Amino acid sequence: MNETFFIEAENLTKHFGEVRAVDGVSIRVKPGEIYGLVGSDGAGKTTTMRLIVGALKADSGECSVCGYDVKKHIEDARSQLGYLSQRFSLYEDLTVLENIRFFAEVRGLKPDEWLPRSLEILDFVGLANFKDRRAGQLSGGMKQKLGLASALVTRPRVLLLDEPTTGVDPVTRQDFWQLLIRLVSTPLHLPPNSENLGGVSRRDEGGVAVLISTPYMDEASRCNRIGFMKSGRIIAEGTPWQLRDRLTGRVLELRGSPLNVLRRAAHSDPDVEDVQAFGDRLHIRVREKKADDVLSRLKSRIRSAGGTIEDLRVTSPGLEDVFIALSEASNE
Ligand SMILES: Nc1ncnc2c1ncn2[C@@H]1O[C@H](COP(=O)(O)OP(=O)(O)OP(=O)(O)O)[C@@H](O)[C@H]1O
Ligand SMILES: [Mg+2]
């Protein structure tokens, strides 16, 4: 059976002068799926999203949203999209509800449509009690939720969120993710006349398809799939589990003191590729099949250098470990 994809981008490329901002990116996102774009500053995440929403024209490549070609049928494609840009702005002097009304009217919703929808969405994002508060008086996290509500007012089937939680406190980030998970796990309720819209049949409907960029690894690990971007390219893609599995057996965790002695001992081992501090512990990445050798050498080196080991063992790699390794590998 053919799979349905709500976002299908194939070999997208975009240059700005000499800069290859996006260099042959292909991404497919299914209904009910959260796809995370992860990468450092300037990797090309925002440009990729702007190509998909049709805010920028690709130099080459293809892209469709719910079956609508973004180049040929931009209005149809946009009618399926909600987009929260990295630097979206709210009207600070308008209330929460007035802000949503503005976005709804820009998107062509009629007065009898926007109000019930806005109230439903404010309830969904937890802002119902704040509908008459001026946007300028909302906390940072509440502003992000209002941004999300505005992007959802047209009930889009595809949602693009560009770093929606950057700078937001951890508790609000958790709330935000609960909302996203509810969004993608709720089957879409489309109007009856939407049969076979854009070639996507109602039978195929899951929830919304989400493409989200994030700098946070805990968020990346909540995505169904991740694309790791660097210099305009997706250099690795997979489920969080598949990506972590690339380093299975190659990360040691070391706790002890003093940290500088531990670090020096690790760096001086010929089979150690990288050492990173995570709070009070070190993650030591070793060459393939060398974990046991490094482990026994480290024990004696640290002791002879006057250090103390509280714990030293092979640990499950985190996504941070994987991304650091991938970044280094792509520099070589
Ligand atoms: N309008 C533009 N004009 C010229 N160069 C641009 C433009 N937009 C982006 N770039 C360049 O393209 C590259 C990719 O930028 P992009 O904003 O897509 O990265 P990003 O992954 O979103 O970064 P960040 O994490 O900082 O948001 C960068 O080198 C950037 O300087
Ligand atoms: Mg960006």
Q: Per residue in 235-284, pLDDT tens?
A: 999 999 999 999 999 999 999 999 999 999 999 999 999 999 998 999 99
Instruction: Judge contact between 54 and 34, C-beta under 8 A.
Output: no
**Ligand 1 probe mutation, 14, 45, 166, most atoms within 8 A of CB:** 45
pLDDT higher than threshold 50 for residue 199: no
Asked whether 256 lines ligand 1 (CB < 6 A), one says no
CB-based burial of residue 78 (10 Å sphere; 0-12 exposed, 13-18 middle, 19+ buried)?
buried
Average pLDDT of 74-99? Answer: 92
* DSSP notation for 55-106: SS--SEEEEEETTEETTT-HHHHHHTEEEE-TT----TTSBHHHHHHHHHHH
pLDDT higher than threshold 90 for residue 203: no
Structure tokens at 55: 């805010």
**Ligand 1 probe mutation, 15, 16, 56, 216, most atoms within 8 A of CB:** 16
Where b means 16+ CB within 10 Å and e means fewer, 28-39 reads bbbbbbbbbbbb
pLDDT higher than threshold 50 for residue 207: yes
Nearest atom within ligand 1 for CA of residue 50: 18
Per residue in 5-57, pLDDT (tens digit) is 999 999 999 999 999 999 999 999 999 999 999 998 999 999 999 999 999 99
3-state SS assignment for residue 149: helix
Instruction: Judge contact between 54 and 78, C-beta under 8 A.
Output: yes
**How many CB atoms neighbour CB 273 within 10 A?**
16
Per residue in 151-198, pLDDT (tens digit) is 999 889 999 999 999 888 888 889 889 989 988 887 765 544 444 444
Nearest atom within ligand 1 for CA of residue 39: 21
Pairing of strands 34-38, 225-230: parallel
Asked whether 19 lines ligand 1 (CB < 6 A), one says yes
Walk me through the domains of the chain, giving residue ranges and CATH numbers.
7-243 (3.40.50.300), 249-315 (3.30.70.100)
Asked whether 41 lines ligand 1 (CB < 6 A), one says yes
What Å distances lie between residue 112 and 49, 103, 109, 116, 119, CA to CA?
A: 31, 15, 8, 7, 12
Ligand found nearest the CA of 38: 1
Average pLDDT of 77-94? Answer: 92
Structure tokens at 161: 């969120």
Amino acid identity for residue 116 in this structure: P
Asked whether 55 lines ligand 1 (CB < 6 A), one says no
